[in-house]
């Protein structure tokens, strides 16, 4: 366990802490600007992963009607449903892991970034002692300590006493959640998630240092921009319950054929034809839907 903690500290946390201090020094001893710039830079580094995850989520969302069709078709046969679902994924070049894996890979970076902000803020004397052991031996870094904690109307080491930040955190997270497709989730659950997370972070912001809230707002705004780039306004402008429709375009998603149907639709149709043939052989009539 100690080894993992050491690796975490040396490989992730310490570089981020020192980089934050340098950024603060470069940006006019303004730690608020340093937090925003670092959030942008980390997002840029993670952009390929983020876009991959967003595109995968979008493709998964577009696949939902077909998945529902399969569920209706094989109500009691879990094994067959699973086989057909995997077949569908394969045909469409979509993988549920495509949504989750990039997110999992980004998760440690986000946690390290969050921790680095807390460590660098060092409001209490104990925290400043701890910070002294994490800094590289560069005079520029040590000169910058303690960092200027003033930003706009905020003292970044304390919660916002005017409660403006909690509202901004809640609003930006709600917009981000609303724009994000939630494939495979019931409408009711998806709707609950869209409210629950922003509300939770809004309450956290009331008690947490505003430096963290600034990081959350900057992250949410950047993700809103990226999400818009991938899916447009998505669920933000769509009434609740409406199904996500795939935009024609990316080749791996849903290129249309001569007949004007997507490979996805073709796959389902050919499956249906195959099933009808099988049913006829077995002497069954296909059920009307």
Partner 1 sequence: MALLGLLAFSGCSGVAFGGWPSPTLAEGTVYVGSLQGKVFALDPAMRRERRFFPAEGEWVFPGEKKEKIGAIYGRLVVAGGLVYVATDERTRRAGKVYALDAASGALRWFFEVGGPFVGTPAVAGGKVFVGSSDGKLYALEASTLGKIWEYKTGGKIWSTPVVQGNVVYVGSLDHKLYALDVGTGKPVWEEPFEAGGAIASTPLVAGDVIYVGSFDSKFYALSAATGKPVWPEPFKAGNWFWTQALLDGDTLYVGSLDHKVYALDIKDGTPKWPQPFETGGMVKAAPVLASGTLVVVSGDGKVYGLDPQTGRAVWLPFDIGGPLWAQPFSDGQTVYLSAGDGLLYALSGQRGELLWSFPLAQ
Tokens describing residue 148: 């200027």
Residue in this structure with the two tokens 């603060």, named with its chain if needed: 24
Q: Please, what is the minimum distance in Å from the beta carbon of residue 21 to partner 1?
A: 12
For partner 1, give the closer residue by CB, 84 or 160: 160
Q: Please, what is the minimum distance in Å from the beta carbon of residue 119 to partner 1?
A: 9
For partner 1, give the closer residue by CB, 74 or 136: 136
Alpha-carbon distance 108 to 101, whole Å?
12
Q: Please, what is the minimum distance in Å from the beta carbon of residue 39 to partner 1?
A: 16
For partner 1, give the closer residue by CB, 79 or 133: 133
For partner 1, give the closer residue by CB, 202 or 264: 202
Q: Please, what is the minimum distance in Å from the beta carbon of residue 224 to partner 1?
A: 19
Q: Please, what is the minimum distance in Å from the beta carbon of residue 95 to partner 1?
A: 22
H or E element that contains 169:
helix 164-179
Q: Residues 60, 42: contact at Cβ < 8 Å? A: no
Tokens describing residue 94: 């979509």
For partner 1, give the closer residue by CB, 12 or 123: 123
Q: Please, what is the minimum distance in Å from the beta carbon of residue 125 to partner 1?
A: 6
Q: From residue 127, give the alpha-carbon distance in Å to each of 4, 88, 123, 205, 281.
A: 22, 53, 7, 20, 75
Q: Which residues contact 240 (CB under 8 A, 6 or more apart)?
A: 187, 191
Binding residues (CB under 8 A) for partner 1: these are 111, 114-115, 118, 123-126, 128-129, 132-133, 137, 139, 142-143, 145-146, 155, 158, 200, 204, 207-209, 212
Alpha-carbon distance 78 to 183, whole Å?
20
Radius of gyration of the chain (CA): 24
For partner 1, give the closer residue by CB, 97 or 129: 129
Instruction: Report CA 271 to chain centroid distance, whole Å.
Output: 34
Q: Residues 156, 210: contact at Cβ < 8 Å? A: yes
């Amino acid at each position: 366990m100690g080894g993992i903690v050491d690796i975490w500290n040396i490989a992730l946390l310490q570089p981020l802490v020192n980089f934050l201090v340098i950024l603060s020094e470069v940006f006019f001893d303004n730690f608020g600007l340093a937090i925003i710039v670092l959030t942008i830079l980390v997002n840029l580094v993670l952009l390929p992963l983020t876009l991959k995850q967003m595109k995968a989520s979008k493709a998964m969302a577009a696949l939902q009607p077909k998945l529902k069709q399969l569920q209706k078709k094989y109500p009691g046969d879990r094994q067959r449903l699973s086989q057909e679902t995997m077949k569908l994924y394969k045909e469409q070049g979509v993988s549920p892991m495509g949504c989750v894996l990039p997110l999992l890979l980004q998760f440690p970076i986000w946690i390290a970034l969050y921790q680095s902000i807390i460590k660098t803020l060092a409001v209490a004397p104990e925290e400043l002692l701890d910070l002294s052991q994490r800094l590289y031996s560069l005079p520029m870094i040590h000169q910058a300590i303690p960092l200027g904690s003033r930003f706009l109307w905020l003292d970044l080491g304390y919660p916002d006493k005017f409660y403006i930040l909690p509202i901004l955190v809640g609003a930006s997270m709600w917009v981000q959640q609303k724009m994000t497709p939630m494939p495979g989730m019931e409408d009711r659950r998806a709707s609950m998630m869209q409210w629950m997370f922003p509300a939770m972070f809004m309450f956290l912001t009331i008690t947490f240092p505003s430096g963290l809230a600034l990081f959350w707002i900057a992250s949410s705004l950047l993700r809103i921009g990226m999400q818009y780039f991938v899916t447009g306004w998505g669920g933000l402008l769509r009434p609740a319950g409406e199904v996500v429709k795939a935009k024609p375009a990316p080749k791996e998603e849903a290129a249309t054929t001569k007949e004007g149907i997507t490979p996805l639709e073709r796959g389902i149709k050919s499956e249906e034809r195959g099933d009808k043939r099988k049913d006829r052989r077995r002497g069954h009539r296909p059920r009307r839907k």
